[in-house]
Amino acid sequence: MSAAGAPAANMSPVTPPAALALDRVTKRFGDHVAVDAVSLQLAAGELVALVGPSGCGKSTLLRLAAGLAAADSGTIEVGGTTVDDGRHHLPPERRRVGLVFQEHALFPHLSVERNVAFGLERERSGIGAPQARRTRAARDHRVDEVLSLVGLEALRSRFPHELSGGERQRVALARAVAPGPSLLLLDEPFASLDPNLRTQIRHDVVNILEATGTAAVFVTHDQTEAMAVGHRVAVMRAGRLEQVGDPWTVFHRPANTFVASFMGEASFLAVEGGPSAARSVLGPVELGSEAAGGVDAHVAMVRPDDLVVDAAPDGPGVGGAVRSAEFRGSSWRYELVLDAGPSVVVACSHLVELTVGERVEVALAAGHRQVAVRREAR
């Protein structure tokens, strides 16, 4: 240290422990493996969206992190402290983990402010160490802070049955964040809300979590929601994580055809040629580093917005015919059968009206590419 007391120049800043660290966590129910050797880390303040089809194990994984179920093997750490190693299991109330469920789980006989204060009356400071209770004034001050954060100051005296679905969800969130958890776990928190309200509440919740620096895992089966919420998206299937990455990468560079199809509509075309000249019927295919050595194990992926349709005959695109047309308000969804055999799905403006059976030309939109995607391994 220098004479002025400053740290030496070569000293690196201390990296905070992961908010959540899962290392090869496994959970079985009889012969069924619900969670299969899952490893995942959340940095402090990070939001991860855990997405996958029903029954894939995502809610079970959340319950393991919360302490509502015990792992059979593997290690779970919260804030750098081991809370489950397959033998020793710390109960939920000693993990500094907040929970928000789809059903809200509010106490019907308690007012909004009493629901929020409930967690403060039972809180503990740090994992495993009981905290001296807050004074009444300190609890009231914290309740005021949190109600202001979620915009419910005016509703503090109401009871759950007097609130809308969105207001009840805000109360559930306020109760979960009031004790200042190091990690928040949300299991399908917006599933019971109508689409417009769902979007607004989702936006508000993300802003609140980012404002408070709270790390969180969102469980959802909605791909659009996962990409809107998560700093990273973790795609789960049959108890395993298929891919973990930022939303852009997971959507545009999926690990395999399952991830590609689950994260959004996609068409797949056969790939021909070698690593330096891979092509599909629509033209050149972009090969990633993993695909370069094994073209035969891959297909070309195109999203509906990667393609454009021209109804004029003898154009530069690939010929085909309209198999089906679906109006979606601001756009049309067309399925086209190409003359070369495969079919593709195209998204067009509502101004592009085609009829079933009509001959068309299809091509890649300017700036869009076909990406090689690995065929499903299982």
How confident is the model over 310-324, as pLDDT tens digits? 887 677 779 999 999
Domain boundary among 249, 283, 311: 249
Domain boundary among 249, 280, 299: 249
Spatial separation of the C-alpha atoms in residues 105 and 148, rounded to whole Å: 21
- Domain membership of residue 149 (yes or no) is yes
Residues 142, 95, single domain; the answer is yes
Residues 43, 175, single domain; the answer is yes
pLDDT band, residue 9 (cuts 50/70/90): low
- Domain membership of residue 260 (yes or no) is no
Strand order in the sheet with 73-78: 32-42, 20-29, 73-78, 81-84
Q: pTM of the prediction?
A: 0.86
* Closest to 206 in 3D by CA, of 46, 41, 40, 44: 46
% of the chain with per-residue pLDDT over 90: 61
Q: Average the pLDDT over 98-102 and give the result.
A: 84
Place of tokens 């309200």: 197
- In sequence order, the 6+-apart residues with CB closer than 8 A to the CB of 175 are 106, 115, 116, 118, 119
- In sequence order, the 6+-apart residues with CB closer than 8 A to the CB of 219 are 50, 51, 58, 59, 62, 185, 186, 187, 188
- Domain membership of residue 142 (yes or no) is yes
CB distance 147 to 153 below 8 Å: yes
- Which pLDDT value is given to residue 30? 95
Residues 283, 326, single domain; the answer is yes
Residues 240, 356, single domain; the answer is no
Residues 200, 343, single domain; the answer is no
Name the β-bridge partners of 322.
336
pLDDT band, residue 2 (cuts 50/70/90): very low
- Domain membership of residue 51 (yes or no) is yes
Q: Is the dihedral of CA 45, 52, 68, 91 positive or negative?
A: negative
Residues 95, 240, single domain; the answer is yes
Domain count, the chain: 2
CB distance 53 to 258 below 8 Å: no
Residues 82, 161, single domain; the answer is yes
Total residue count of the chain as it appears in this document: 378
Spatial separation of the C-alpha atoms in residues 186 and 216, rounded to whole Å: 7
In the predicted model, is pLDDT for residue 13 greater than 80?
no
CB distance 219 to 188 below 8 Å: yes
Q: Give the chain's mean pLDDT.
A: 88
Q: Going by DSSP bridges, is the β-strand pair 232-237/215-220 parallel, antiparallel, or unpaired?
A: unpaired
- Domain membership of residue 32 (yes or no) is yes
In the predicted model, is pLDDT for residue 295 greater than 60?
yes
CB distance 278 to 285 below 8 Å: yes
Weakest mean pLDDT among 55-64, 191-200, 367-376: 191-200
Residues 323, 244, single domain; the answer is no
Residue 167's domain comprises: 20-249
pLDDT band, residue 352 (cuts 50/70/90): very high
- Domain membership of residue 198 (yes or no) is yes
In the predicted model, is pLDDT for residue 206 greater than 50?
yes
Q: Which residue has the higher pLDDT, 290 or 162?
A: 162
Residues 58, 181, single domain; the answer is yes
pLDDT band, residue 137 (cuts 50/70/90): confident
- Domain membership of residue 4 (yes or no) is no
- Domain membership of residue 259 (yes or no) is no
